[in-house]
Amino acid sequence: MTRLGIIGFGNISISLAGLLQTQLERRLEHLTIVCRPEYSSQIKQIMKEEYNDIASEYCIATSIEALINNKPNLVVECAGHDAVFEHVPQILSAGIDTVVVSIGALSDVALADSLYNSARKGNSKLLLPSGAIGGIDLLASLQQYGELDVSYRGIKPPAAWSGTPASALFDLDQLSKETVIFRGTAREAANTYPKNANVAATIALAGAGFDETKAELVADPKAITNIHEYTVNSPLASYTFRVEAKPLKDSTKTSATTAFSVLREIKNCIGPIVI
């Protein structure tokens, strides 16, 4: 039994709720979901109708203070970069381990420093899931040696780039071939495309760093999945990792595997075996 907190209740959180309902060996002791006040009633109804048996008790809160007062063992952030800025340092300082899904937020140097300092202050852990990519364990191992050369390429359907700076640069609806919409560093990618470049940020943090990791983002009208590919060259080993991930049903920007990655982090925290 454990006590869990979730910040936000968008596509990833809803997918995670479904997994918690079917994949845990036993229900949570307590679940707190933090949302904006205007969504509170709607989420209460959804929880009552669809996810009522996830936890023995659950609470829909509208403040981080209420979340902390409920004494969760673990908190999962699923609400975007702003939520990381506004809430995660306070949670870590309170001594609560926190899974950050919006990893691209750590491209901000001041925020990254704040999170690390808060974790040290609270003797807590900032947990960064692998999300839509794999091979991160090997990449993080090679980082210990250094001398890494890392390049990332993310390919998504044009619709996944709607509402981003690419919309102003390209007529996404009329693309007829694979088109590079961004080329630069992982830090620039995470800052410019915050909802689409969390994988680039994950690879950067595990490997060569934000400014040393090269990133390329592509819109491809023939793509039916979100494709993430990166190449690593090291004195110890070289490899290329590629995954074709189906997007979430209601969000072409996010790979469906992301929620499963978060579920794995939760199971590693509450279960007897960590893998």
Q: Which positions ≥6 away from 217 have C-beta within 8 Å? A: 153, 154, 156, 161, 166, 180, 181, 182, 183, 189, 193, 196, 197
Please check whether residue 261 lies inside any domain of the structure. no
53 and 155 inside one domain:
no
Q: What is the mean pLDDT of each run of 10 residues along the chain (275 residues)?
A: 91 93 92 96 94 93 97 96 97 98 96 98 97 94 96 96 94 95 97 94 97 98 95 97 87 83 93 84
219 and 182 inside one domain:
yes
Choose, from 30, 81, 87, 228, the residue flagged as catalytic: 228
Please check whether residue 263 lies inside any domain of the structure. no
pLDDT at residue number 270: 85
From 97, 128, 159, the end of a domain falls on 128
From 82, 106, 128, the end of a domain falls on 128
36 and 144 inside one domain:
no
Q: Which positions ≥6 away from 133 have C-beta within 8 Å? A: 199, 202, 203, 228, 230, 241, 243
199 and 86 inside one domain:
no
Residue 17's CATH number: 3.40.50.720
> How far is Cα of residue 113 from the mean position of the Cα atoms in its chain?
19
168 and 86 inside one domain:
no
Count structural domains, the chain. 2
> Side-chain half-sphere of 125: how many Cα atoms within 13 Å?
8
Contact 247, 160 (CB under 8 A): yes
120 and 22 inside one domain:
yes
120 and 151 inside one domain:
no
Stated length of the chain: 275
pLDDT at residue number 256: 86
CA dist 133 to 13, 201, 240, 254, Å? 19, 11, 12, 12
Which residue intervals of the chain are DSSP H helices?
11-23, 40-50, 64-69, 81-93, 109-122, 136-143, 166-169, 186-192, 198-206, 257-270
Please check whether residue 260 lies inside any domain of the structure. no
pLDDT at residue number 59: 95
180 and 203 inside one domain:
yes
Stated as kind and residue range, the H or E segment containing 54 is: none
161 and 93 inside one domain:
no
pLDDT at residue number 1: 53
Token code pair at residue 34:
């933090």
119 and 41 inside one domain:
yes
118 and 152 inside one domain:
no
Residue 214's CATH number: 3.30.360.10
Q: Please say if 228 is a catalytic residue.
A: yes
The residue segments making up the domain with residue 124 are: 3-128
